[in-house]
């Protein structure tokens, strides 16, 4: 027998993005919302991605900073953080449950805090797998949920494992294992040269992995960023002993005794990995980490019930609405726009405002209803050592878009950077629209540059003319004074 319940808004997927969409759609109104979640409320980001990865990277960064100044250096004698302390900190940040969690129904992490937040915001949490079964109708087990106003798809993405002979059979690690690492392999091959690969390589080295090989298909790390960003990370990883092989991929894998031992544990004995391309060769490793991108989670959401394709991203217009279905929204990783938590949450705020406006019969005649930053002002911080932050277009992307640009760039060498350490090394560049004289993009590499990027984001979104930006005075002595060096070049 099927029970039927109705809400104003039903969200499928309770990651950071789904949570925000539900919240903004009902905030300050008497509308009701339910989030359907088949795993943990808080999603990939809280337990398997952003939070554990940044927790794993924190101690190594803190140690690096302490070791860069006389006085603290003498007190921080080890070059690597203490592994068990790092894992404990990661477990604290993610609410990881110990292995005796069978009595909790096999849950891996505690999401009670997230559920309390949702209930406090007036959102009901429904545990189970959600599927669309018709217009405004979602089935969860034997329950039928009817949405009066909107259904929001916020199902996120899953790690892609390329169809390489023997790879899937070898049960390789994905980012879920690397972030929830419990057993530290001695020898690892990482497939990929993107953000996950670079950050994971950094914390694997921190934790004591000694034989780390990266198989990178292209000719540089972090290919969507300015080339100097990937070059500096490559230099740092090499200096710590990593073997970076560009123009290389895995051709075949043989792991005779692969076993599904759970997230973060070694998935069997050694594997023989054959590399092809410029760095061809054969390796024996204790684990393989696949960091080869992600696929939008659209395959089992019932999109076919609406005649929509269940492959690839669920695309949307700038109101985050699926074309032809004005009650259906798609936000976060699943829509294929930008696979970043903060951009997904931005989309969720816009979608929530759009749902509220449509429910109240208001026109969508304001920029708050348009997710314009998705196209031109996407910031990102990569928490490697050195840290990288970027926003907007690179020089190459601007050229591809046919925009005439001016570029200012140089070493970060100001009083604020020297005070972080006499050997401070960093680099920055800005890309400027030569016709409109406004910023299009910025990239910063170096310790503590993650906090610089928001200033560039504000300048891009605000379309601040350079002549006006000159009057935004950075404080002395901070790393932000690099802005003066860059703007000086453009006067
Ligand atoms: C290792 C790693 C590190 C990262 N670090 C960062 C970072 O530092 N900063 C950053 O901005 N981004 C980072 N990201 C990207 C970030 O994790 C994602 O962009 C973000 O999690 C997307 O949020 P989401 O809510 O769209 O999807 P998710 O977080 O994937 O949540 C989707 C939720 O939907 C649930 N679900 C799926 N299908 C169904 C269904 N049919 N029924 C019910 N529930 C369902 C899932 O269980 C999940 O809880 C990282 C990614 C990885 C892999
Ligand atoms: N700090 C952050 O903001 C952060 C951290 C981690 C992840 N993320 C986001 O999560 C998403 C996923 O990250 P990712 O690094 O997995 O994806 P990605 O798309 O950034 O990188 C994937 C890499 O794998 C390579 N690759 C794919 N197939 C391959 C093959 N068969 N052989 C060799 N190389 C292959 C690609 O060339 C690419 O370099 C990204 O959108 C990223 O921005 C963000």
Other CB atoms within 10 A of residue 244 CB: 21
- Strands (E) across 135-186 are located at 137-140, 143-153, 157-159
Which residue in 234, 293, 11 sits closest to 132, CA to CA? 11
User: Is residue 3 over pLDDT 90?
Assistant: no
- DSSP letter assigned to residue 322: P
- Residues paired with 250 in a beta bridge: 275
**pLDDT tens-digit profile of 21-67?**
999 999 999 999 999 999 999 999 999 999 999 999 999 999 999 99
Question: Which ranges of 313-448 does DSSP label H, i.e. alpha helix?
Answer: 341-359, 373-376, 395-400, 415-420
List binding-site positions for FAD: 54, 130, 155-157, 333
What is the per-residue pLDDT for 106?
A: 74
pLDDT of residue 230: 98
Fold: same for 3-42+111-158+295-373 and 386-490: no
* pLDDT tier at 99, thresholds 50, 70, 90: confident
Is residue 394 within 8 Å of residue 409, measured between CB atoms?
no
Using CA atoms, how far apart are residues 195 and 57, in angstroms rounded to an integer?
Answer: 13
Domain boundaries 386-490, CATH class: alpha beta
How big, in percent rounded to 5, are the helix, strand and coil portions of the chain? 35, 25, 40
Per-residue pLDDT tens digits for 300-347: 999 999 999 888 999 999 999 999 999 999 999 999 999 999 999 999
Query: What residues are designated binding site?
Result: 54, 130, 155-157, 192-199, 293, 333
pLDDT per residue as tens digits for the range 168-225: 999 999 999 999 999 999 999 999 999 999 999 999 999 999 999 999 999 999 999 9
Q: Are strands 3-12 and 33-37 parallel, antiparallel or unpaired?
A: parallel
CA-to-CA distance for 223 and 195, rounded, in angstroms?
A: 9
Can you give the residue ranges of every domain in the chain?
Answer: 3-42+111-158+295-373, 168-292, 386-490
Helix H or strand E encompassing 189: strand 187-191
Which residues have any ligand 2 atom within 6 Å of their CB? 162, 191-197, 199, 215, 217-218, 223, 249, 291-294, 339-340, 380-383
Residue 223 to residue 399: CA distance in whole angstroms? 16
Annotated binding-site residue numbers for NAD(+): 192-199, 293
> Of the candidates 248, 247, 266, which has an alpha carbon nearest to the alpha carbon of residue 258?
266
**What percent of the chain has a predicted confidence (pLDDT) above 70?**
98
Chain Cα centroid distance, residue 18: 16
Q: Where are the alpha helices (DSSP H) in 1-82?
A: 16-26, 43-47, 50-66
Q: Residue 270, CB half-sphere, CA atoms under 13 Å: how many?
A: 9
pLDDT tens by residue, 409-458: 999 999 999 999 999 999 999 999 999 999 999 999 999 999 999 999 99
- CA 111 to CA 96: how far, in whole Å? 9
Place of tokens 């909790």: 104
What's the burial of 104, exposed, middle or buried (CB within 10 Å: 0-12/13-18/19+)? exposed
Q: Which CATH class is domain 168-292?
A: alpha beta
Ligand 2 mean position, distance from CA 362 (Å): 40
Contact partners, residue 402, CB within 8 Å, separation at least 6: none
Please report the sign of the dihedral spanned by the C-alpha atoms of residue 464, residue 466, residue 471, residue 473: positive
Give 350-406 pLDDT, tens digit per residue. Answer: 999 999 999 999 999 999 999 999 999 999 999 999 999 999 999 999 999 999 999
- What Cα–Cα distance (Å) separates residue 24 from each residue in 9, 37, 274, 346, 429? 11, 18, 50, 11, 36
pLDDT of 480: 98
Mutate to test the pocket of ligand 1, among 16, 21, 45 (most ligand atoms within 8 A of CB): 45
- What's the confidence (pLDDT) of residue 306? 95
Looking at residue 104, its pLDDT comes to 61
Give backbone dihedrals phi and psi of 55, rounded to 5 degrees, phi first. -65, -40
What are the structure tokens assigned to 321, written together? 């609405």
Ligand 1 pocket list (CB less than 6 A): 12-18, 36-40, 43-45, 49-50, 53-54, 129-130, 154-157, 175, 179, 196, 297, 301, 332-333, 339-342, 344
**Confidence check on the interface: ipTM exceeds 0.95, yes or no:** yes
Measuring CA to CA, which residue among 265, 289, 266, 284 is closest to residue 274? 284
| Domain 3-42+111-158+295-373 class in CATH | alpha beta
Res. 1: pLDDT tops 60: no
Mean pLDDT of 138-148: 97
């Amino acid at each position: 027998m099927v029970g039927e319940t109705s809400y104003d808004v039903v969200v499928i997927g309770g990651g950071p993005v789904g949570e925000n969409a539900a919240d903004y759609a009902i905030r300050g109104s008497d509308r009701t919302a339910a989030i359907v979640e088949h795993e943990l409320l808080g999603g990939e980001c809280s337990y398997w991605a952003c939070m554990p990865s940044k927790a794993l990277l924190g101690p190594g960064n803190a140690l690096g900073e302490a070791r860069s100044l006389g006085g603290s250096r003498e007190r921080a004698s080890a070059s690597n953080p203490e592994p068990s302390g790092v894992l404990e900190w990661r477990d604290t940040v993610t609410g990881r449950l110990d292995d005796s969690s069978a009595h909790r129904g096999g849950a891996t992490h505690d999401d009670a805090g997230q559920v309390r937040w949702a209930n406090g915001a007036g959102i009901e949490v429904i545990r189970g797998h959600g599927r669309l079964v018709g217009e405004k109708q979602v089935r969860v087990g034997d329950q039928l949920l009817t949405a009066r106003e909107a259904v929001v798809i916020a199902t996120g993405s899953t790690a892609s494992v390329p169809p390489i002979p023997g790879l899937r059979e070898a049960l390789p690690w994905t980012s879920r294992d690397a972030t929830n690492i419990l057993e530290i392999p001695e020898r690892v091959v990482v497939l990929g040269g993107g953000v996950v690969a670079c950050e994971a390589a950094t914390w694997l080295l921190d934790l004591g992995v000694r034989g780390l090989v990266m198989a990178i298909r292209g000719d540089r790390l972090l290919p969507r960023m300015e080339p100097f960003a990937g070059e500096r990370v490559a230099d740092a990883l090499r200096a710590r002993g990593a073997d970076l092989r560009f123009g290389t991929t895995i051709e075949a894998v043989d792991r005779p005794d692969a076993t599904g031992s759970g997230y973060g544990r070694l998935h069997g004995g050694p594997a023989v990995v054959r590399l092809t391309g410029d760095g061809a060769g054969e390796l024996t490793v204790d684990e393989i980490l696949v960091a080869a991108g992600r696929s939008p989670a659209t395959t089992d959401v019932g999109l076919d019930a609406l005649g929509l394709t269940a492959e690839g991203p669920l695309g949307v217009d700038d109101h985050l609405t699926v074309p032809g279905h004005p009650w259906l929204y798609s936000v976060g990783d699943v829509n294929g726009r930008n696979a970043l938590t903060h951009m997904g949450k931005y989309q969720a705020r816009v979608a929530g405002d759009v749902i509220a406006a449509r429910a109240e019969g208001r026109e969508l005649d304001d920029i708050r209803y348009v997710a314009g930053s998705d196209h031109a002002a996407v910031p990102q911080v990569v928490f490697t050592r050195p840290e990288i932050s970027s926003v907007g277009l690179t020089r190459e992307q601007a050229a591809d878009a046919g925009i005439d640009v001016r570029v200012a760039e140089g070493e970060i060498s100001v009083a604020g950077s020297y005070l972080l350490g006499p050997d401070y090394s960093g680099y920055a560049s800005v890309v400027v629209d030569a016709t409109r004289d406004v910023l299009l993009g910025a990239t910063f590499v170096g310790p503590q540059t993650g906090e610089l990027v928001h200033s560039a984001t504000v300048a891009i979104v605000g379309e601040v003319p350079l002549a006006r930006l000159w009057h935004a005075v950075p404080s002395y002595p901070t790393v932000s004074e690099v802005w003066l060096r860059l703007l000086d070049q453009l006067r």
